[in-house]
Amino acid sequence: MNNGKAKPGHFYAVGVGPGSPDLLTFRAANLIESADIVIAPRSKRSETSLALKTVEHLITSQQVVDHVYAMNRDYTETMKLWNEMAELIIEQSAKGKSIVQITLGDPMVYSTSCYLLKLLHGKLDHENICVVPGISAFQTVASKFGEALTIQEDRMVLMPATNIDQVAEALEHCETLVLYKAGKKIKELADLLKEKDLLENARLVCYAEQGEKEFMAHDILEAADGKHGYMSTVIVYINRQEWKK
Amino acid sequence: MNNGKAKPGHFYAVGVGPGSPDLLTFRAANLIESADIVIAPRSKRSETSLALKTVEHLITSQQVVDHVYAMNRDYTETMKLWNEMAELIIEQSAKGKSIVQITLGDPMVYSTSCYLLKLLHGKLDHENICVVPGISAFQTVASKFGEALTIQEDRMVLMPATNIDQVAEALEHCETLVLYKAGKKIKELADLLKEKDLLENARLVCYAEQGEKEFMAHDILEAADGKHGYMSTVIVYINRQEWKK
């Protein structure tokens, strides 16, 4: 279904990876290049859409719809904005347009695409809705350090760093812990890891694959100044669960 | 560093994604196309390397080294084979060759690349070893069903389905559970999920994005015949942990 151009009346939620244009997949590039409409979400705080910047070399005559969303945690407001976008998609797909919504990372992993997909469910034909995976930040971060996330019988947990109690709980139930949105919790997190004798097993990357903004640290406290806010990922290597004899 | 061709004396562990050539990234394709040597691992049971099949359109004058490995769980034997491969890489990189090892999925997620990277550590210069992430099977599987793996505060656990007790434990500590290598455990797993009233929340895909071999089921028991062995992924949607007020 996806080996080629965007089809009339179809909606595609497309992951563009972490921000480096060459970490885009061919499928994503083909769809973006051939779409009638490209929806690029950006937060109210940003002047440009990072996702759009990643694919700007593919934009020629497509109509680009800049979807500004509030970065607060208000579910009602969030859904109101996405409802407007869903209506636009339904309207345009009925006219035979092909629509691609681009999103940083992977559309299935902490992505804004989820809201749209939920709203389109039942309104567009199931076969007219496609999702294209993208490289997620945690994969990029792991590749930077070249240390495996999982081998053999390992369990990996992926979660936001927002609730430190849940982070502490997770440390007891996996071999590798990946934390998103760690920026504002670095000090609390470092205290917890120190207590568990795991501080040296943690790695941090902020803005992975976003050019000069990229910041890597073997010591997560290097990011404790809070400057490396939202897009920071921490990997904690707890243990290895090797093959049982 | 990676925006282009493979460099002399460098080793690249490159993820080629789940098996569909258009789910390769541009970075992966550029490196494979320009490498002197491409190492393609395949299991003793397979006639062809699935990873190599995914990139065969990129192979022209590169030397292809077919690395056959035993799929048993013998660590000593596994490491002996990888030691031979590591020696070849060290020898060839010293001669100024560029070497790419391709691997299905992502090199950091349950991949054979980990063994090589471990063995090369300290033998090749750190800057001469690069990892390129790839789309992992669980991302493809989630995209097929179009259901988000994680939103907002959700925790995701990724693990093999080999130990059912650990699977049961994981169900208590996350909102989404992703199980690899589920093929042989489908019945046990279905019993567990039924007991927890989660059977209807499970999805299964075998051989995702591997052409006609692909098999998808909303009812995981459809794969209980054991025919859909090794490359089967199960996603269990347990709950959603929405934003706290």
Give the model's pLDDT for residue A55. 97
Hey, is B46 helix, strand or coil?
coil
Minimal Cα–Cα distance from A30 to chain B, Å? 9
Q: What is the pLDDT of residues A133-159, one digit of tens each?
A: 999 999 999 999 999 999 989 999 999
Q: In sequence order, what are the residues at sequence separation of 6 or more whose Cβ sits closer than 8 angstroms to the Cβ of residue A216? A: A144, A145, A203, A204, A205
Domains B11-132 and B137-237 share a fold: no
Pairing status of strand B99-103 against strand B11-15: parallel
**Reported confidence tier of residue A242, pLDDT bands at 50, 70, 90:** low
Give the model's pLDDT for residue B46. 73
**Reported confidence tier of residue B216, pLDDT bands at 50, 70, 90:** confident
Give the model's pLDDT for residue A115. 86
Hey, is B48 helix, strand or coil?
coil
Mean pLDDT of chain A: 90
Give the model's pLDDT for residue B210. 84
Q: What is the pLDDT of residues A52-62, one digit of tens each?
A: 999 999 999 99
User: What is the mean pLDDT of the segment spanning B178-192?
Assistant: 91
In the predicted structure, residue A80 carries a pLDDT above the cut 90: no
Give the model's pLDDT for residue A202. 95
Find the helix packing angle between A75-94 and A113-120, rounded to 10°. 60
Chain B CB within 8 Å of residue A163 CB: yes
Q: What is the pLDDT of residues B35-51, one digit of tens each?
A: 999 999 887 777 788 99
What proportion of chain A, given as a percentage, has pLDDT over 70?
93
Q: What is the pLDDT of residues B60-95, one digit of tens each?
A: 999 999 888 766 667 787 788 889 999 999 999 999
The matching CATH number, chosen from 3.90.1720.10, 3.40.1010.10, 3.30.2090.10, 2.40.128.20, for B11-132 is: 3.40.1010.10
ipTM for this model:
0.93
Tokens for A228? 């490396």
Chain B CB within 8 Å of residue A242 CB: yes
**Reported confidence tier of residue A223, pLDDT bands at 50, 70, 90:** confident
Kindly provide the residue ranges of all beta strands, DSSP E only, lying in B77-210, ordered along the sequence: 99-103, 129-132, 156-160, 176-180, 202-206
CA nearest to A19, candidates A59, A48, A55: A55
Domain B137-237: assigned CATH number = 3.30.950.10
Minimal Cα–Cα distance from B169 to chain A, Å? 8
The number of residues in chain B equals 245
Which chain B residues have a beta carbon less than 8 Å from that of A75? Answer: 242-243
Contact A137, A19 (CB under 8 A): no
Give the model's pLDDT for residue B229. 63
Lowest mean pLDDT among A172-181, A210-219, B25-34, B172-181: A210-219
In the predicted structure, residue B243 carries a pLDDT above the cut 70: no
Higher pLDDT, A112 or B32: B32
> Would the pTM of this model clear 0.90, i.e. be above it?
yes
CB contact under 8 A, B153 and A135: no
How far is B42 from B225, CA to CA, in rounded Å?
25
How far is A138 from A108, CA to CA, in rounded Å?
13
Q: Where are the domains of chain B?
A: 11-132, 137-237
Chain B CB within 8 Å of residue A41 CB: no
In the predicted structure, residue A22 carries a pLDDT above the cut 70: yes
Give the model's pLDDT for residue B3. 56
Contact B193, B234 (CB under 8 A): no
Which chain A residues have a beta carbon less than 8 Å from that of B134? Answer: 135, 139
CB contact under 8 A, A148 and B108: yes
Tokens for B148? 């988000």
